[in-house]
Amino acid sequence: MTITTYYHPGYAAPIGDHVMPITKFGMVADGLAGNAAVRLAEPEPLTEADLRRVHTSEYIEAVRTGEPRALAESQKMSWSPELFPSVRLTGGGCLAAARRALEDGVSAALVSGFHHAHADHGEGFCTFNSLVVTADVLHAAGAIRRIAVLDMDLHYGNGTASLAPARPYLFNLSIYGNDYDRNQAFRDVSTVRHVDGSNHRSIALPNGSGRAEMLEAMERGLPQILAWGRPDLILYQAGADPYREDPYSPLELDHDDLRERDRRALAWAKEEGIPIAWVLAGGYTKDTSQVVRVHLSTFEAAREVFA
């Protein structure tokens, strides 16, 4: 089968020299060229009405205009006039992939899910929370009754968790190797800096965790999603930053381990008969080709699972 994958050159705003390799989205798209299992498509941008379902008018206005600057740059990226159009497009990519997955069973967007973004400010390079905007737009349209986020980025998805309590139709599971709070990552996860709730749960991977610990966490976590209530759609954050060479990662996960993570996540959704759309999430290895390799291997896993 063909995996429709949403990409747009406008995803990348000019953010200067930044730890976040914004060129990676285009590099992944280039890496998919000629892949018969993948069809690249361009999404429509999110509307301001879509954004207002999740974010405050003051924050949206700040990102649009650049003022007040501290709020416009609360996600720790330099503001430019191109920022607002780019984050509307990336959010549109996530929404388009979610809609496509409801039709096809699987889809992807070459965007980040922006799981650190809160209602009234950004954090951790995340401007608007595309995962929750997608959940809200689909729920309001009656396209889904329940939706779950499986977040396997290295970092705890604190923004999504902050937005979950007001949304009984959303479940967030974050399997993380760095805790995250107020724009700060915490490598030592032995102290938990957040509180789980009935529809936002988390599982920490202790420093040094490898494949066995990761798969065990998935085996423990995935049934929690079904126990909460069978979702009509899974949004999967397939982060590249758990990779062992990533500067933030205290985990011992290599390319094969992350490919196995993706295969398990996708195969689980398929076996349960739940559509799944994935996004790329973080990845900061200095050699960006290693980040791109992690993201491309998710497509290999998907091709294997959905062949």
Task: Write out the residues near Zn ion by the rule CB under 5 A.
Answer: 153-155, 241, 282
- Which CB atom, from 45 or from 113, has the smaller least distance to Zn ion? 113
Neighbours of 79 (CB within 10 A): 23
- Which CB atom, from 21 or from 282, has the smaller least distance to Zn ion? 282
Q: How far is the CB of 154 from Zn ion (least distance, A)?
A: 5
Q: Is 166 helix (H, G, I), strand (E, B) or coil?
A: coil
Rounded Cα distance, 53 and 104, in Å: 26
Q: How far is the CB of 116 from Zn ion (least distance, A)?
A: 8
DSSP state of 47: P
Residues with Cβ < 8 Å from 198, sequence gap 6 or more?
228
Residues paired with 174 in a beta bridge: 151, 202
- Which CB atom, from 136 or from 153, has the smaller least distance to Zn ion? 153
Rounded Cα distance, 25 and 110, in Å: 6
- Which CB atom, from 35 or from 183, has the smaller least distance to Zn ion? 183
| H-helix or E-strand spanning residue 25 | helix 24-32
Q: How far is the CB of 284 from Zn ion (least distance, A)?
A: 8
Residues paired with 180 in a beta bridge: 185
Q: How far is the CB of 162 from Zn ion (least distance, A)?
A: 16
Q: How far is the CB of 237 from Zn ion (least distance, A)?
A: 9
Q: Which residue's CB comes closest to Zn ion? A: 282
- Which CB atom, from 123 or from 241, has the smaller least distance to Zn ion? 241
From residue 162, give the alpha-carbon distance in Å to each of 50, 68, 120, 234: 18, 23, 11, 19
